[in-house]
Amino acid sequence: MRTGEDALLVRGLVSDSRAVVPGCLFACVPGASSDGHRFAAAAAAAGAAALLVEHPVPVPLPQLVVPSVRAALGPVGALLAGDPSAELRIVAVTGSNGKTTTSTLIRGVLDAGGWPTGVVTTVGARFGDQLRDTALTTPEAPELQATLRWMLEEGARSAVVEASSIALDMGRLDGLAFEVAVFTGFEEDHLDHHGTLEHYWASKARLFEPDRATAGVVVVDEPWGRRLADQARIPVVRVGTAPGADVRVLDSLSDASGTRVLLADGDGVHLLATSLVGRMHVTNIAAAWAAGRLLGVPAPDVVAGLAAVVPPPGRNTVLRTPGAPLVVVDYAHTPGALELALETARGLADPGGRVHLVLGARGRRDRYKRQGLGTAARAADEVWLTNEGSHGEDPAAIVAELRTGLLGAEATVRTVLDRYEAITSAVSAARPGDVVLVVGRGHETRLQDTADPRDAVHFDDTEVARAALRHEPDAVLDEREAQAS
CATH topology of domain 2-67: 3.40.1390
Residues 6 or more apart from 95 whose CB is under 8 A from it?
102, 182, 183, 184, 185, 186, 204, 219
One-letter-per-residue 3-state SS of 95-110: CCCCHHHHHHHHHHHH
Query: How far is it, in rounded angstroms, from Cα 41 to Cα 21?
Result: 14
Residue 423 clears pLDDT 90, i.e. is over it: yes
Best CA proximity match to 285, nearest among 239, 317, 316: 239
Residue 4, pLDDT score: 40
Query: How far is it, in rounded angstroms, from Cα 203 to Cα 74?
Result: 17
Confidence of residue 475 (pLDDT cuts 50, 70, 90): low
Strand order in the sheet with 25-27: 13-14, 25-27, 50-53, 63-65
Residue 39 clears pLDDT 70, i.e. is over it: yes
Contact (Cβ atoms closer than 8 angstroms) between residue 213 and residue 93: no
Query: How far is it, in rounded angstroms, from Cα 192 to Cα 153?
Result: 38
SS3 4: coil
Alpha helices (runs of H) in 68-175, residue ranges in sequence order:
69-80, 99-112, 141-153, 165-169
Confidence of residue 3 (pLDDT cuts 50, 70, 90): very low
Residue 245, pLDDT score: 96
The CATH-assigned architecture of domain 84-308 is: 3-Layer(aba) Sandwich (3.40)
Over the stretch 83-94, which tens digit does the pLDDT of each residue have? 999 999 999 999
Averaged pLDDT for residues 227-254: 95
Contact (Cβ atoms closer than 8 angstroms) between residue 406 and residue 297: no
Residue 464 clears pLDDT 50, i.e. is over it: yes
Residue 6, pLDDT score: 47
Best CA proximity match to 145, nearest among 87, 88, 81: 81
Best CA proximity match to 96, nearest among 479, 369, 316: 369
Over the stretch 380-411, which tens digit does the pLDDT of each residue have? 999 999 999 999 999 999 999 999 999 999 99
Residues 6 or more apart from 184 whose CB is under 8 A from it?
93, 94, 95, 96, 97, 98, 99, 102, 219, 283, 284, 287
Q: According to the annotation, is 425 in a ligand binding site? A: no
Confidence of residue 356 (pLDDT cuts 50, 70, 90): very high
244: exposed, middle or buried (Cβ count in 10 Å: 0-12, 13-18, 19+): exposed
What is the DSSP secondary structure assignment for residue 453, as one 8-state letter?
G
| The domain defined by 317-484 carries CATH number 3.90.190.20 | yes
Residue 44 clears pLDDT 70, i.e. is over it: yes
pTM for the model: 0.86
Residue 482, pLDDT score: 47
Which residues sit opposite 159 in a β-bridge? 90, 118
Query: How far is it, in rounded angstroms, from Cα 446 to Cα 457?
Result: 5
Dihedral over Cα of 193, 195, 201, 203: its sign: negative
Expressed in angstroms, the distance from the first to the final Cα of the chain is: 49
Residue 83, pLDDT score: 92
Query: How far is it, in rounded angstroms, from Cα 342 to Cα 435?
Result: 10
Over the stretch 315-340, which tens digit does the pLDDT of each residue have? 889 999 999 999 999 988 889 889 99
Contact (Cβ atoms closer than 8 angstroms) between residue 143 and residue 93: no
Which residues sit opposite 408 in a β-bridge? none
Dihedral, CA of residue 29, residue 32, residue 38 and residue 43, to nearest 10:
-50
SS3 93: strand
What is the DSSP secondary structure assignment for residue 35, as one 8-state letter?
B
Query: How far is it, in rounded angstroms, from Cα 50 to Cα 60?
Result: 9
Query: Which of 57-61, 171-175, 214-218, 347-351 has the least mean pLDDT?
Result: 171-175
Residues 6 or more apart from 134 whose CB is under 8 A from it?
120, 124, 125, 143, 147
Q: According to the annotation, is 172 in a ligand binding site? A: yes
Contact (Cβ atoms closer than 8 angstroms) between residue 378 and residue 411: yes
Residue 462 clears pLDDT 80, i.e. is over it: yes
Residue 189, pLDDT score: 56
Over the stretch 276-312, which tens digit does the pLDDT of each residue have? 998 889 999 999 999 999 999 999 999 999 999 998 8
Contact (Cβ atoms closer than 8 angstroms) between residue 378 and residue 352: no
CA distances (Å), 84 to each of 75, 159, 357, 401, 459, in order?
12, 10, 44, 46, 36
Q: According to the annotation, is 134 in a ligand binding site? A: no
The better pLDDT of the pair 455, 297 is held by 297
Q: According to the annotation, is 147 in a ligand binding site? A: no
Best CA proximity match to 401, nearest among 341, 361, 447: 361
Average pLDDT, the chain: 89
**Domain extents for the chain?**
2-67, 84-308, 317-484
Q: According to the annotation, is 85 in a ligand binding site? A: no
Residue 138, pLDDT score: 77
For the chain, percent of residues with pLDDT exceeding 90:
67
Tell me the HSE value of 205 on the side-chain side, using a 13 A CA sphere. Answer: 16
Residue 157 clears pLDDT 70, i.e. is over it: yes
DSSP letter string over 346-400?
Answer: HHHSPTT--EEEEE---TTS-GGGHHHHHHHGGGSSEEEE--S--TTS-HHHHHH
Averaged pLDDT for residues 206-223: 94
